[in-house]
Amino acid sequence: MNMARIVISTFGSFGDIHPYVAIALELKARGHAPVFATSEVYREKMDALSINFHSVRPPMPSLDDPEEVGKVIEGVMDPRVGGEKVMAMLLPYLHDIYEDLDAATEGADLLLTHPLPLLGPIVAQKKRLRWVSSVLAPASFLSVYDPVVPPQWPGLYKAMRLSPWVGRAVMALATKKLDKILQPVLYYSKQETWNRLQFNNYVHRLLHIEDSSLYLNHMSQAQFNEWYRSYISYILKTDISTLSIQYNEYDLSSGQPVKLPSVQTITVP
């Protein structure tokens, strides 16, 4: 049996960590090389278990600061807005999560993901990496015949028990709300796909052009940002009011650096 490098991506509390620790230890016992990709606060735990570790943002409060940890737990466990609180912790860090997972999966044979790191499927798609999706909460296995009790609207449970059609209507509403919350992930995915297409079609060739004057941009920074906002609006088929851009440099063979844009955050009306 050949040893496989298997990256385990998760995020959250001990309840989101310990099940994957068991998987990592079993993988080690079978001769594989698991890599735990999660928040920096768990590095010490993984070191104690001799499990390879790769830090993934966003930063989490230290376990040695129970007051700060308590504030986070209080917010995410709120029955009405807990889910939105979790997303608020993750969505501003999409690019950071992507970069960290991209680095963690270098040379990997398989990526195993918890739902929350969000960017795992995009990294796996980009690298043509084998990917296993997992869930921990029984409520993730949604059923209109055996419905869960919605924490936001516990009274709906009795109505959902009346007929599967009621359950389907509730699921449709929940899906619509979730899609709205996760819109930034969809935008990031489309942007990353577009960036790869642009690199493959244009940038790779630019890196071999001796005359860098062929790729001179004479617009001001403000003019370019406005043009790029309009262009991304066209690509995503969504009106974008503001966006934040990071520029990554590539060197042409002539030594002239070329800066290519990468969207960091997007705001829609």
Strand partners, 38: 55
Q: Is residue 174 part of a domain?
A: no
Flag whether 61 is in a domain.
yes
Across the chain, mean pLDDT equals 79
What is the per-residue pLDDT for 215? 46
Residues 6+ apart with CB under 8 A from 90: 11, 58, 97, 116, 117, 118
Q: Please, are residues 264 and 244 in contact by the beta-carbon 8 Å criterion?
A: yes
- Do residues 201 and 130 share a domain? no
CB contact at 8 A, 259 and 249? yes
State pLDDT tens for residues 143-193. 888 888 877 777 888 888 888 888 888 888 877 777 776 777 777 776 666
pLDDT at 109: 96
Q: pLDDT tier at 202 (50, 70, 90 boundaries)?
A: low
Domain limit, last residue, from 136, 163, 198: 136
What domain count does the chain have?
2
- DSSP β-bridge partners for residue 244: 265
Q: Which pLDDT band holds residue 205 (cuts at 50, 70, 90)?
A: low
Which of 53-67, 76-90, 223-237 is least confident? 223-237
| Alpha-carbon gap, residue 39 to 53, rounded angstroms | 10
**pTM passes above 0.75:** no
Residues 222-268: tens digit of each pLDDT: 766 777 777 777 666 677 776 666 666 655 555 555 565 555 555 55
pLDDT of residue 137: 83
Supply φ then ψ for residue 88, to 5 degrees. Answer: -65, -25
β pairing state of 52-55 and 110-113: unpaired
Q: How many angstroms from the chain centroid is the CA of residue 165?
A: 33
126 and 209 assigned to the same domain: no
- Assign 224 to helix, strand or coil: helix
Q: What is the pLDDT of residue 196?
A: 62
- Contact status, residue 21 vs residue 51, Cβ threshold 8 Å: yes
Q: At which of 120, 136, 152 does a domain end?
A: 136
For 260, the domain range is 184-267
95 contacts 187 by C-beta, under 8 angstroms: no
Per-residue H/E/C for 112-173? EECCCCCCHHHHHHHHCCEEEECCCCHHHCCCCCCCCCCCCCCCHHHHHHHCHHHHHHHHHH
Query: The domain that contains 94 carries what CATH number?
Result: 3.40.50.2000
Residue 132 pLDDT: 95
